[in-house]
Amino acid sequence: MGIVDNLGHYGTDYLWRAVVAMVGLGANLPEDAIYPRAAKDAEGQPLSGANKYELRFAKGQFPPVGAFWSITLYNSSQFFVKNPINRFAIGDRDKLAFDEDGSLAIYIQNESPGPTRESNWLPAPKDAFSLTMRLYWPKRQVLEGTWKPPAVQRTTAQAKRVA
């Protein structure tokens, strides 16, 4: 996931200020929120609902924030994706299931990963999509770039889960 960390601080860069205003109607300062985005997987391939993906946070490597974090999925037109569980974002405010080793896997795919994994499922369309992570009140590790979001990994097997 790529991080843009110069939103909200424009100085005399009026073109950048105009682009942000046009696309996002303004932006928070990096100290308030940072928005890593991914449109490609760890191998550099475009994200597609034809594949299954996993975004895995190792134990203790969850997004370092003072408020909350979430991941939102958008289709190729930057709209939410209609899905059977009406979930458009997932994050630390959701009831997530952690693996036995304390890690956390988010499953990003078109079809349900199964009833024991649906708590961690972010439904994808059948075609292209992108992900935007929202990190509110990011801690120093995010602002200084020493913490980076994990790569989106294409997968065929799912890890053993604990309820």
One-letter-per-residue 3-state SS of 73-89: EEECCCCCCCCCCCCCE
Cα 1–103–156 angle (5° rounding)?
70
Q: Are 64 and 147 in contact (CB under 8 A)?
A: yes
Determine the pLDDT at residue 133.
Answer: 97
- Sequence-separated (6 or more) residues with CB below 8 Å from residue 56: 103, 104, 105, 106, 150, 153
CATH superfamily, region 32-155 = Domain of unknown function DUF1214, C-terminal domain (2.60.120.600)
pLDDT band at 21 (very low <50, low <70, confident <90, very high): confident
What's the mean pLDDT when you consider all of the chain? 89
Determine the pLDDT at residue 5.
Answer: 57
21: which DSSP letter? H
Query: Tens of pLDDT along 80-96?
Result: 999 999 999 999 999 99
Query: Tens of pLDDT along 24-53?
Result: 666 677 888 999 999 999 999 999 999 999
